[in-house]
Amino acid sequence: MHEAIKFYLGGRLTLAPLENTIFPTSILDMGCGTGMWASQAAEAFPDADVLEVDLFSLPHSGFENAGAGHGRMALSPVCQRKVQREIPRDWFRARDGAGRNPNPNPRTNPKSPPGALFDIVHACFVFLHLAGFEEVLNRPLQLVKPGGWLLLDDAETVLRDSLGFQIVSERSKFQQLLQRYQERKNMNPRAGSAFQGILESSGIFSEVNVRKIVVPISRWEDGHTDIGVQRIAESLRRTMSRLLSAMQEDVDMGHWNSDAFDAAREEMTDQSRDMQMTIYMTWSRRREY
């Protein structure tokens, strides 16, 4: 997905005007996955220290497994300057009003990444995977320096038609499976669409910008000329196909037979169907004090 989004952005890191507004010395990539965005950031800003964090182990070289299908491409000499560090899983869990973890784990010591504040904080397709993400989101907000940028990209993993109406699960086996899987995993399918309201109500940003990208899952409208969106659509369909395979192997989804998964895969390639998902790209600048 990173390469598809990079193509959509014309090779840029983000839609935010970073080069014209900031000279970053510290960058945080949360939920870095394969580390490709962090590597691109290190290339773009060679004087910046880039901290990349993920719940899974971060390999140091080559293309290695890092749990849940994560791996890392070989890094250039510039990118090898980055700090790589795992963080406790509890760092991503919601806190109560006093900042305590409501489900403490005595074997871990929850803490924020070292370095306190960053010129750029980035997270892509992270918060839809987190239960109680609204509370969790308050933490990276506080890590952005005054004048710095918070870059959040995420999806609304709810199937809609081209008129914007949600596709009811009774009409789509794919929607049934997706909804069931997200419920079992405590995922929030509307994380991306909630960003703008949360960021604006925080009161700490001088500007909150959002771009909404409607991505076709099945039918590609005739005359659609945005090749960047088409690349994202192709990548998203591959991601959804892999997700269906993961669902099929998940014991929690065991009561679904193979016919249901076959029907869902057919829906994704059925040109007569009208199914879309929406990706939200946000870039918000913290107020200067």
DSSP-assigned beta bridge partners for residue 16: none
Sign of CA dihedral 70, 86, 182, 259: positive
For 95-127, write each residue's pLDDT tens digit: 333 333 333 332 223 333 444 489 999 999 988
Cα–Cα distance for residue pair 267/160, rounded to 1 Å = 13
pTM of this structure: 0.79
Name which of 114, 125, 117 is nearest 83 in CA terms.
114
Name which of 205, 200, 237 is nearest 219 in CA terms.
237
The pLDDT of residue 66: 33
Which segments of the chain have a pLDDT < 70? 56-116, 219-225, 251-254
The pLDDT of residue 252: 64
- To the nearest 10°, the Cα dihedral for 87, 28, 38, 233? 90
The pLDDT of residue 62: 37
C-beta of residue 258 within 8 angstroms of C-beta of residue 248: yes
For 245-279, write each residue's pLDDT tens digit: 888 887 666 677 788 888 888 888 887 888 889 99
Q: DSSP strand E in 162-229: where?
A: 205-216
